[in-house]
Structure 1
Amino acid sequence: MSAQRMTLEPRKPLGHASPARAGRSLRLAAGLIALAIPLSGCGTGALWDKFTAKDDTFVEEPADKLYNEGLYLMNQRKDNKAASKKFEEVDRQHPYSDWARKSLLMSAYSFYNSGDYDSCIGAATRYVTLHPGSPDAAYAQYLIAASHYDQIPDISRDQGRTEKAIAALEEVIRKYPTSEYSTSAKAKLEGARDQLAGKEMDVGRYYMEKRDYTAAINRFKTVVTRYQTTRHVEEALARLTEAYMAIGIVGEAQTAAAVLGHNFPDSRWYKDAYNLVKSGGLEPSENKGSYISRAFKKLGLG
């Protein structure tokens, strides 16, 4: 991103007291008098100034100066953490200014560059909330999605972050379909969907090893019905052929093999599925009413 450099603004009597209380009052009075003596001396001006001086440690700096210092730290020094502090200082010292708006987006960007994804999401979300009509709102929304996407975990772990990435990427595409970030969001979206399909396949294979074919079918079915455009769909169809043959539902096995052969005729998975069906004395044959067939018809792949 680039940014243009801009120039810009009498007491009442106490009454009678007990001897003990009177003693305490005298001691307190004596203490106050003792404190007052050095303060009233002619050589105590510096001490008095220390007590009465104003705190001038805070000095407000021009917004453009802070902003450009942030750019320098980010672009020249590659110190994104220090840069983000400069941008945040613009917002603190000059809230409601145009510089504050620019700095909020730049702080989100510097947080992203430093790998502080949660802070990036917070700053970018604030930008979208405060400036939804800004030309840069699309980029702020994209930073939110990219921050989630870059934290997608391995398929062996919980995929909650992947789900968040998908939702945020879809938001970019829905809100800003003609922006330059929509194309990148679509590519990332396919990658995130591929990750979820991979998770389903991983669990499905586990159930296949345990010979829990019904549980395995449910996982492979999810891939076929929800993630047909991912690289895992070929294997999912082959695994469905295998699982359905194992439990004797040969019609679905034949359909899975037929759909696999129709859409991916050169796939090694089709060769395996074809041989498996043939070993049972059958041929791949598509049942148009099967969920497998309908899933691909919906995408125009059947």
Structure 2
Amino acid sequence: MGRWRGFLLACALALPVGLAGCASDEPQYVERPVGELYNQAMNQLLDEQYQQAAQTFDEVERQHPYSTWASKAQLMAGYAHYLNDSYTEAVNALDRFIELHPGNRDIAYAYYLKALCYYEQIADVRRDQQMTRQARNALQEVVNRFPNSKYARDARLKLDLTEDHLAGAEMVVGRYYLNNGHYLAAIKRFRKVVEEYQTTTHVPEALHRLVEAYMALGVVDEAKATAAVLGHNYPGTEWYADSYELLTGRDVTPERDEDSWISRAWDQVS
């Protein structure tokens, strides 16, 4: 995670500054030159005094709301909150920047930083995945709005990870239902992985679990069709070996069925 924070700091420091001055120990409520305030905030940021830096950036905007430094201070306040792991405050600051300055040259950075605030709060797959969904949506927005930016390149990589995480959460619930004999509920979860997260690493297992659930219910035709899809797309996996053994142990073999939902779903996505 430190690598990404270093990357963000490099981006933040690359924002045009052009002011010079020394940090001051004067109380913040005293009206001070914009350059003095801004440089104090930057010094606090570099000294890892993130909360103080955010407060000082806010003071830049409060004391000099019509200066060109007000918008820069808004963005940097969001960055300081992010470094402090104060993600709610960071998102609020970034949303304000985005709303007030949609045409700013650093708007892509603001959207990207907001996405990271959600991304770094992604919970274990056994917990609620609302934050993961928010991260996915925010990362997708970066890709859609700024497809050729350096932020979009990283956002695409993180999107793949969020998709895999969401699929993993569905698998956890599906396995629970399967192990407890709630086969229809399990099928619903595994189908979601196959239909919505087909590029993730969880698909081979999801297909096998579908075979297990269908066989447990006696829905042999769907089990055969699902195993056929599994064997065609992931022939060398342990999951296909397990499905094949399960079917042949009951004198059944995988067989593609064009009328099955699994065949139609796979053809649409592939």
Q: Secondary structure at the match of 2:124?
A: coil
Deviation at 1:147, TM superposition (A): 0.6
Look up the equivalent residue of 1:6 and give its one-letter code: G
Report the TM-score, using the length of structure 1 for normalisation: 0.79
Matches within 5 A, 1:1-302: 1=11, 2=13, 3-7=15-19, 58-75=29-46, 77-300=47-270
Deviation at 1:167, TM superposition (A): 1.6
Give the gaps of 5 or more residues in structure 1.
Answer: 9-55
Give distance in 1, aligned partners of 2:81 and 2:176.
Answer: 39
Give distance in 2, aligned partners of 1:290 and 1:138.
Answer: 44
Deviation at 1:4, TM superposition (A): 4.1
CA gap 1:112/1:205 in 2 versus in 1, 3 angstroms: same
Look up the equivalent residue of 1:136 and give its one-letter code: D
Aligned identity (percent) is 45
Q: Secondary structure at the match of 1:148?
A: helix
Look up the equivalent residue of 2:149 and give its one-letter code: S
Look up the equivalent residue of 2:199 and give its one-letter code: T
Q: Is the 8 A contact 2:115 2:139 kept in 1?
A: yes
Deviation at 1:298, TM superposition (A): 2.2
Listed one character per residue, the Cα deviations across residues 144-177 of structure 1 (whole Å, up to 9, x for unaligned) are 1111111111122221112211221121112111
Q: Is the 8 A contact 1:244 1:253 kept in 2?
A: yes
Q: Secondary structure at the match of 2:200?
A: coil
CA gap 1:211/1:58 in 2 versus in 1, 3 angstroms: closer
Give distance in 1, aligned partners of 2:19 and 2:246.
Answer: 74
Q: Is the 8 A contact 2:28 2:56 kept in 1?
A: no
The number of aligned residues is 252
Give distance in 2, aligned partners of 1:209 and 1:297.
Answer: 30
Listed one character per residue, the Cα deviations across residues 226-260 of structure 1 (whole Å, up to 9, x for unaligned) are 11111111110000011111111111111211111
Which moved further from structure 2: 167-176 or 109-118? 167-176
Give the gaps of 5 or more residues in structure 2.
Answer: 1-10, 21-26
CA gap 1:90/1:292 in 2 versus in 1, 3 angstroms: same
Give distance in 2, aligned partners of 1:57 and 1:106.
Answer: 17
Report the TM-score, using the length of structure 2 for normalisation: 0.88
Give distance in 2, aligned partners of 1:236 and 1:150.
Answer: 27
Look up the equivalent residue of 1:69 and give its one-letter code: Q
Give distance in 2, aligned partners of 1:59 and 1:161.
Answer: 40
Larger radius of gyration: 1
Listed one character per residue, the Cα deviations across residues 42-93 of structure 1 (whole Å, up to 9, x for unaligned) are xxxxxxxxxxxxxx99431111221111111112x12111111111110111
Listed one character per residue, the Cα deviations across residues 105-153 of structure 1 (whole Å, up to 9, x for unaligned) are 1111111111010011001111111111112111111111111111111
What's the C-alpha RMSD, in Å, of the aligned pairs?
Answer: 1.7
Deviation at 1:5, TM superposition (A): 3.8
Give distance in 1, aligned partners of 2:259 and 2:98.
Answer: 46
Q: Secondary structure at the match of 2:122?
A: coil
Which moved further from structure 2: 57-66 or 243-252? 57-66
The runs of at least 4 aligned residues of structure 1 exceeding 3 Å deviation read none
Give distance in 2, aligned partners of 1:96 and 1:192.
Answer: 39
